[in-house]
Amino acid sequence: MMQRVLLTGAVGCGKGTIAKKVVEHFEGFAYFCAGDVIRQHISNGSEFGKRASSFLKAGEHVPENLVNEVLLQEVQRLRDSHLVLDGFPRTIAQVTAVEASLPVSLCIELDVPRKERLSKRLVHIPSGRTYNLDYNPPRVPGKDDVTGEPLERRVDDTDEAIRRRMEVYKKTESKVAAAYSIGMSVQFNSDELFYYLKLAAVGTIGAMTLHTAYKFYLNLRHEKGRSRWKEFLAAIGFIPPLIPTALSSGPLSLSLDSKHPLNHNVTRFRFLLPESDQVIGLRPGQHVAIAATVGGKRVVRMYSPVSGNEARGYVDVVIKRYEGDHALSKHIHSMREGEKLEWDGPRGHIVYKGRGAFLIGRSKKRDKRSFSHMTAIAGGTGITPLLQILKSSLEDYSDCSNLHLIFANSTEKDVFLKEELDMLAETHSNRFRLTYTVSQPGDGWRACVGRPDSAEVLKLIAPPSDNHVVMLCGPNPMVKAVVTALKGIGHQERNVLVF
């Protein structure tokens, strides 16, 4: 069954950018943009194009009686492809016409500050490539990345045209999402969706983040919508995590698949799960026990994977190579592809349930606590369980927690995962703050300087409150020093979580 995703939202919300990313990175999808079809007719000087041009310059949509037949003919040519629809259907009459021959699988309504985007939008007219001075700037100001030709503002991006198009959207197109609201429509911030697609493109996480997609699925209340959404998820490679998790069958023996250095002594290791469609089965905050026999002795250490339940068939861990009496760390770094380690879990006494809520403690004695503000202080590879929680919060469109990550290292060269962290901070700047700090700065270091328990760092932390939790993970001396320092500035022990 062909899957058809309709992206709807007011002018300038990012429909075209998102649609092109889907087509670029997810196999089998074609892109249909009503605006591109109309602009092509205008460029070609067709009779339809001449009549449509006057409406666009005035900031108005081309009337349905003029445009419907043209767009329906064009979209029918793509009926044998998975399809991302942008700008069509945009009225109830068009919805009826499309549903009669090419029913939509899912409607995603995008929502961002639109006027600011449009005022900074530039277009390469011949190709249709779109740029934004804030979100997606060209490499050379004013020039197209591919051809080097000049970029222009669209004729319908004037202030007056933008205002009129907003009015038209409120009167007509905003009703389209409502028409699909019986289980088939979800609302998403397109900046966040763009972030998920960027991560998917570099292989950091799965399509749209799969467990976020699954949360949408769970929130759909109507069986028809759930079934069609499920079909769509399957089309983009999603298998709902209702399958048995890898750890549910007991201890595992996992083979090393690959390893990728992140800096001079930290490496990301990928291990294969027993089945290609399995997930590891940990909740945010949990960890596993990894064991091996080294020098005739069984050695066990706890590690928090950096991949979550969006990763099918594998699990990733980030491990630092220590010198001295750290036999397992050195053993893992010396492993070759195909060699195995023993895994057991889940372990851990802290679980993040989402929307600021934690389960704290073990078994039946667990206490449920909720916070509106979370500060995570990580030392080196201690970032791994905290990153699980931060990403889980940021990937949940309904989680409004305010987040602050303080990532502490000895020197600048010790910092790792910087590209991923910077992307999180850029995309979620409305509620995620990122601070890097080192205790031994180099000449070019421009961020914070100081150990996590220093006055320079402590002054960056939000004031103590029962709505504010501070999460800590790192070397034991660091954790003890920070706990003592936090108590000294008024933070209650029950509001400090140590992983």
The predicted model gives 464-489 an average pLDDT of 97
Residue 231: pLDDT band with limits 50, 70, 90: low
Rounded to an integer, what distance in angstroms lies between the CA atom of residue 111 and that of residue 426? 17
Q: Which two tokens stand for residue 420?
A: 């991923």
Average pLDDT (248-263) is 92
Sheet holding 266-272, edge to edge: 297-303, 287-294, 340-347, 252-261, 266-272, 314-320
Helix locations, 169-317, DSSP H? 174-179, 190-201, 210-219, 223-235
Q: Would you say 303 is a known binding-site residue?
A: yes
301 annotated among ligand-binding-site residues: yes
Percent of the chain with pLDDT over 70: 74
Residue type, 110: L
pLDDT at residue 183 is higher than 60? no
Mean pLDDT of all residues in 347-357? 90
In sequence order, which residues have a C-beta less than 8 Å from that of residue 358 and are 6 or more positions away? 285, 350, 351, 352, 368, 369, 370, 371, 469, 497
Closest Cα to residue 183, out of 228, 231, 241?
228
Q: For every residue of 67-124, which 3-state class applies, written as one string?
A: HHHHHHHHHHCCCCCEEEEECCCCCHHHHHHHHHHCCCCEEEEECCCHHHHHHCEEEE
Across residues 290-295, what is the average pLDDT?
A: 94
What distance in Å separates the CA atoms of residue 331 and residue 388, rounded to the nearest whole number?
A: 25
CATH fold, domain 4-235, is Rossmann fold (3.40.50)
**Residue listed under structure tokens 């703050």:** 433
384 is in an annotated binding site: yes
Confidence of residue 159 (pLDDT cuts 50, 70, 90): low
Answering whether pTM is above 0.85, one says no
pLDDT at 35: 82
pLDDT category at 326 given cuts 50, 70, 90 is: confident
Band the pLDDT of 121: cuts 50, 70, 90. Answer: confident
What is the distance between the alpha carbons of residues 245 and 383, in angstroms, rounded to a whole number?
24
Token couple for 497: 């979580």
Q: Of 242-256, 310-324, 367-381, which range is least confident?
A: 242-256
Does 105 appear as a known binding residue?
no
Domain 246-347 shares a fold with domain 350-498: no
Tally of CB atoms within 10 A around 311: 21
Q: Find residue 368's DSSP bridge partners.
A: 359
What pLDDT is stored for residue 376 in this prediction? 98
| Domain segments of the chain as ranges | 4-235, 246-347, 350-498
3-state SS class at 471 = strand
- Residue 40's pLDDT is 86
Would you call the peptide bond into 305 cis, given omega within 30 degrees of 0 as the criterion? no
Cis peptide before 346 (omega within 30 of 0): yes
CA-to-CA distance for 32 and 397, rounded, in angstroms?
Answer: 26
Percent with pLDDT over 90 in the chain = 39
Distance CA 158, CA 324 (A): 65
Is 391 known as a binding-site position? no
Q: Which residue has the higher pLDDT, 385 or 153?
A: 385
On the question of pLDDT at 80 being above 80, the answer is yes
Dump strand ranges (E) for 224-328.
Answer: 252-261, 266-272, 287-294, 297-303, 314-320
Flag whether 121 is marked binding.
no
**pLDDT value for 472:** 98
pLDDT at 138 over 70: yes
Dihedral sign from CA coordinates of 147, 152, 153, 156: negative
Pairing of strands 432-438, 448-449: parallel
Sequence-ordered list of residues with C-beta below 8 angstroms from that of 110, at least 6 positions apart, any chain: 7, 8, 9, 13, 14, 15, 18, 187, 188, 189, 190, 193
pLDDT of residue 234: 52
Q: Please tell me which residue, 411 or 100, carries the higher pLDDT value.
A: 411
Homologous superfamily (CATH) of 246-347 is Translation factors (2.40.30.10)
State the pLDDT at residue 97: 82
Fold classification of 350-498 is Rossmann fold (3.40.50)
Query: In this predicted model, what pLDDT tens digit does every residue of 35-56 receive, in sequence order?
Result: 888 888 888 888 888 888 888 7
